[in-house]
Amino acid sequence: GNSVTQMEGPVTLSEEAFLTINCTYTATGYPSLFWYVQYPGEGLQLLLKATKADDKGSNKGFEATYRKETTSFHLEKGSVQVSDSAVYFCALRVAYGNNRLAFGKGNQVVVIP
């Protein structure tokens, strides 16, 4: 079935460091792919998305490229800030017609001043 795998474990890094969070997927067809972010004490909100191969989603300095050949959608940011500390979830649309999503397990990102 359709599923998403995120790298294991929390990510701790210093301010202005480069951030990468890996996401790979298994799917039939070519699903839309998403990154959601959850700030402390809040629900999830859409960070960026890509709907077809080679599309690049971007927002707030974050980027992710839909790579069909490697079935990946890695999230990157060139210079993180303390305010980027959050949990990041990769997701894909499971089926057409009801917008159901399958989520990865999430990665806690902690940015230290």
Partner 1 sequence: DVKVTQSSRYLVKRTGEKVFLECVQDMDHENMFWYRQDPGLGLRLIYFSYDVKMKEKGDIPEGYSVSREKKERFSLILESASTNQTSMYLCARSFLEGSETQYFGPGTRLLVL
Q: Which stretches of the chain bind partner 1, using CB under 8 A?
A: 32, 34, 41-46, 49, 89, 93, 97-101, 103-106
CB of 33 to partner 1, least distance (A): 10
Q: Which of 87, 85, 86, 111 is nearest to 14 (CA)?
A: 111
- Amino acid letter, residue 73: F
Q: Rounded distance, CA 54 to CA 39, Å? A: 28
Size (the chain), residues: 113
Buried b (16+ CB within 10 A) or exposed e, 47-61: bbbbeeeeeebeeee
Of the pair 19, 32, the CB lying nearest partner 1 is at 32
* Least distance CB 86 / partner 1 (angstroms): 13
**Nearer of residues 17 and 94 to partner 1, judged by Cβ:** 94
The nearer residue to partner 1, 50 or 111, going by C-beta atoms, is 50
When the beta carbons of 60 and 100 are compared against partner 1, the nearer one is 100
101/111 Cα distance (integer angstroms): 28
Give me the least distance between CB of 91 and partner 1, in Å please: 8
